[in-house]
Structure 1
Amino acid sequence: MAIFLAMVLSSAQNGTIGTFQTYKALLKAMLSHIKHSDEKQRWLLASTLLNTTLAITKITWGLVMESTLVTADGIHSISDVFSALLILLALYFSAHRSERFPYGLHKLEDMAALLGGLGILFAGYEIIHSVFFEQGIRTPESIWSTIGFIAAILLIQTVFYYAELKAARRLNSPGVRADAINWLGDIGAGLVVIFGLVAHHYAIPYAQEAAVMIIILMIFQGAFDVFKEALLSLLDAADMAIEKKVRDLVIAEPGVTQIKRLTVRKSGSVYFANIELSIAETSIIEAHKQIDNIVDKLHKEIEELESVTIHYEPDHPPYQTIVELLAADKKTLSNRFGATPWLHVIKKHPDGSLISNLLIENTSKDAPKGKAFLLAAWLISRHTDTVIMGQADLDENIVALFKSLGMTLKQVATDPVYQ
């Protein structure tokens, strides 16, 4: 971006058409990419092209007509062009994923922002140095034609602002809306230029100097915002506003009982969310459906959210559940899993004190087939922590399932049961 800004200033001063050729090549590349894109991207492209055209026009007019105010206004517009270009670059590079770059190349946007911010700051410094330490304010000989020129640009900007804002509401797009609001800064800067020129015409002291300082402050503010956002993104700083919005949406979902960990990482102009939560649902199929609903809801409510990763655990009660598999005598540990006649269910507080002690019949034992898996499902649904039984050859799939869920399986010799 700094190189682009230097090319604009250099070619305007030299009266060459080099910048026009570069600009034409840039337009061709951008058009070829967004030709078949959605309406949101087309609005952003239209905004970028219009703002770039107006910025180059203002800088050229300012240099040719020798108007420091108009030149400063054009450089301020370049900062807005830069912001729009960053959004378009993010849209372009987001699709370029590979095995080495699975998250895309969004960070390139932040790196470009730092370089572009330096270019904008340097341009602002050059204006200050020129106005206050060298040749001073340059005033156009034809003030009223310059005022008419700026007024025409203001009219174009205002019409486009209302059109883009209307489209943003219709498309429900925060990105397009933010881009539309950015036009207010350019419109305000244009009004400052007109005020400065009119005040100078009526011999109000330091009117142009004050107007230039206002625009320079706007330039520095824009550069500061670009620097801050890029640096925070490169350092993976948390965006507290987006994180709060994600948290509020997730915790409002029925069945979510706790958010154990939530991080939202910004990369370019998009966000990546990583969430660890507990849900009340014990059915794996239903739990996955609920997680899918949460992901869809987050993408719908937060357009900038590029990816959501959710790790979940079934909600665990605040006590320990031990289940002993007993033989027909209701005392001896059974060496059969699915066909065990009795289940001794013991619930204890974390300190070991007894909550309940219940002996129930195993209804799975009478199933024609799949006894073991039916009992395993029952144990999981009861949030069982420990299963105790006699020595037996248990299906390795059930052993692996218990292990993955953090359940402890103890196979012991025929020992006395817990009382």
Structure 2
Amino acid sequence: MEVSERTALMGMALNFFIFGIKYVSASASGSIALKAEAFHTLADFIASLTVFVGLKIAKRKTKAFPYGLYKIENLMSVVVALVIIYSGYEIVLEAINAGATELKNSPIAIASLVIAIIATYVFSRYERRVGKKINSPILLADSAHIHTDVLSNAVVLIAIITSLIGYQLDKIAAFIVAGFIFKTGVQMFLDGIRVLLDASLDHETLSKVEKIILETPQVIELKKLTGRNSGRFKFIEADIILKAYYLEKAHFIVDGIENRIKDKIKNIDHILIHYEPLQKEETVYAFPLTEDKALINSHFGESPYFMLVKFKVGETIASEVDIINNPYIKIEKGKGILAAELLTQNLIDYIILKNDFNSKGPAYVFSNSNTAIVVVDERTPEEALERLGLGYDANTVVDKEKLIVEAIKF
């Protein structure tokens, strides 16, 4: 049995026990208010039973309800909220209609109310902690309902005590408490209705999901992100553009995003990510260059410059050739990884090398961004491109002497 179900059963047992002692005390004392409060607690027992049934039904999935019956929790929350509002109405009527009553065995009535106040307060705090931990709207609603019982019990207790000393303050206190009860009930009702009407997830949760998606190197753009609650569970849907040209690779990337979201955010039931490949109008080849900018450098991370050669789709002569500085060349550790990240930001498709990577760092960066690694024997970029059936006009070379505006990581 889940913790939510155990908590609901405990609430049922508590309410039935308190109903018993209140009814016995009301019979012994002759207090109409205490008798009304006893039947109010009986209504709470029925509400707790509703909570338990809701929890049992909510987690089921059927062919007719493939996404589960999670919203039963929110529906039951609305029902409990209406019970809270009705409880406030009862107290108002009781305050208006109650007349002077001569009480007997007042210590018994007072003792029963003190026990009820302590028990309901302790349990409402416990149920609230459990409800927050598992994000259960129905437990949170029930804990709020039970907490209002502390107030209603206090009203009756004040009425009994003040009647003993000759002051009648119970009506004023009853109206004040009824105001709090109405406020709690209306808030719980609106929260439940909000989920039933498929309102959006809270901004904080959506921001966390957005951050996780955009931190993925292969994600070029997040086009759309929506989410909704269903009971304690969350459903998320996103549209993204991926730098991935193979279906198997795209599936792998999306699976990784979904797993990271589920690790970071509780109670995710379903994530649906629609993805489409990046529609590029050009293919970009990158070369690490030597100091003289003429040869392919054998040491990727030590390269002072990189050449970016861009080809329009379907063309074999480059449309643009840029030479950019490597701003990380003087960094002692991790320069290869940082240089690889710099090139992936330029959306390169191929990195042309004289030697394959000895370390896994840059290779991992390029693999994650779907950049193909090509190892060649040729000495110059012109020779390497010629072997691939490509070329460029020397007049198109743009030598960008300025360092790229980039935060260098030490």
The 3 A distance-change label for structure 1 pair 224 and 281 is same
Tell me how far 1:98 sits from its aligned partner.
2.7
Kindly report which structure 2 residues correspond to 1:311-390, keeping only aligned pairs within 5 A, or say none: 311-314=274-277, 316=278, 320-321=281-282, 346-347=311-312, 355-356=320-321, 381=370
1:202 maps onto 2:165 in alignment: yes
Tell me how far 1:151 sits from its aligned partner.
1.4
1:296 aligned partner: 259
Tell me how far 1:165 sits from its aligned partner.
7.6
The 3 A distance-change label for structure 1 pair 239 and 72 is farther
CA distance in 2, matches of 1:111, 1:180: 13
Kindly indicate whether the alpha-carbon contact (under 8 Å) linking 1:73 and 1:193 is maintained by their aligned counterparts in 2: no
Tell me how far 1:161 sits from its aligned partner.
5.8
1:124 maps onto 2:124 in alignment: no
1:68 maps onto 2:30 in alignment: no
CA distance in 2, matches of 1:272, 1:127: 40
The 3 A distance-change label for structure 1 pair 70 and 45 is same
Kindly indicate whether the alpha-carbon contact (under 8 Å) linking 2:81 and 2:186 is maintained by their aligned counterparts in 1: yes
1:221 maps onto 2:183 in alignment: yes
- Which of 44, 55, 61 lines up with 1:97 in the alignment? 61
CA distance in 2, matches of 1:290, 1:137: 74
Higher-helix-fraction structure: 1
Kindly report which structure 2 residues correspond to 1:18-417, keeping only aligned pairs within 5 A, or say none: 37-38=1-2, 40-54=3-17, 56-57=19-20, 60=23, 64=27, 65-68=30-33, 71-72=36-37, 75=40, 78=43, 82=47, 88-132=52-96, 134-136=97-99, 140-157=103-120, 160=123, 168=130, 173-175=134-136, 178=140, 182=144, 184-205=147-168, 207-241=169-203, 243-244=205-206, 246-247=208-209, 250-251=212-213, 253-255=215-217, 256=219, 258-279=221-242, 284-285=247-248, 287-314=250-277, 316=278, 320-321=281-282, 346-347=311-312, 355-356=320-321, 381=370
CA distance in 1, matches of 2:25, 2:100: 12
Give the partner amino acid of 1:237.
Answer: A
Stretch deviating more after TM superposition (191-200 or 221-230)? 191-200
CA distance in 2, matches of 1:70, 1:296: 55
Kindly indicate whether the alpha-carbon contact (under 8 Å) linking 2:57 and 2:69 is maintained by their aligned counterparts in 1: yes
CA distance in 1, matches of 2:53, 2:204: 22
1:15-49 Cα offsets, whole Å, 9 max, x none, are xxxxxxxxxxxxxxxxxxxxxx23x2343233332
Kindly indicate whether the alpha-carbon contact (under 8 Å) linking 1:272 and 1:307 is maintained by their aligned counterparts in 2: yes
Give the partner amino acid of 2:40.
Answer: I
CA distance in 2, matches of 1:355, 1:139: 99
Kindly indicate whether the alpha-carbon contact (under 8 Å) linking 1:265 and 1:272 is maintained by their aligned counterparts in 2: yes
Tell me how far 1:209 sits from its aligned partner.
0.8
Normalising by structure 1, what TM-score?
A: 0.55
Give the partner amino acid of 2:92.
Answer: I
The 3 A distance-change label for structure 1 pair 223 and 157 is closer
Tell me how far 1:191 sits from its aligned partner.
4.2
Kindly indicate whether the alpha-carbon contact (under 8 Å) linking 1:67 and 1:140 is maintained by their aligned counterparts in 2: no
The 3 A distance-change label for structure 1 pair 164 and 181 is closer
CA distance in 2, matches of 1:179, 1:186: 13
Kindly indicate whether the alpha-carbon contact (under 8 Å) linking 1:58 and 1:70 is maintained by their aligned counterparts in 2: no
CA distance in 2, matches of 1:291, 1:137: 71
The 3 A distance-change label for structure 1 pair 87 and 145 is closer
Give the aligned CA root-mean-square deviation in angstroms.
4.9
Query: Is the partner of 1:310 in helix, strand or coil?
Result: strand
CA distance in 2, matches of 1:70, 1:240: 43
Kindly indicate whether the alpha-carbon contact (under 8 Å) linking 1:110 and 1:234 is maintained by their aligned counterparts in 2: yes
The 3 A distance-change label for structure 1 pair 153 and 123 is closer
CA distance in 2, matches of 1:298, 1:214: 45
The 3 A distance-change label for structure 1 pair 347 and 229 is same
Kindly indicate whether the alpha-carbon contact (under 8 Å) linking 1:94 and 1:104 is maintained by their aligned counterparts in 2: yes
CA distance in 1, matches of 2:100, 2:167: 14
Query: Is the partner of 2:225 in helix, strand or coil?
Result: strand
Give the partner amino acid of 2:185.
Answer: A
The 3 A distance-change label for structure 1 pair 280 and 52 is farther
Normalising by structure 2, what TM-score?
A: 0.56
Query: Is the partner of 2:254 in helix, strand or coil?
Result: helix
Give the partner amino acid of 1:197.
Answer: I
1:163-209 Cα offsets, whole Å, 9 max, x none, are 6688x59x95444995896465544554454344333433334x211
Tell me how far 1:248 sits from its aligned partner.
5.2
Aligned residue pairs, count: 303
Stretch deviating more after TM superposition (223-232 or 293-302)? 293-302
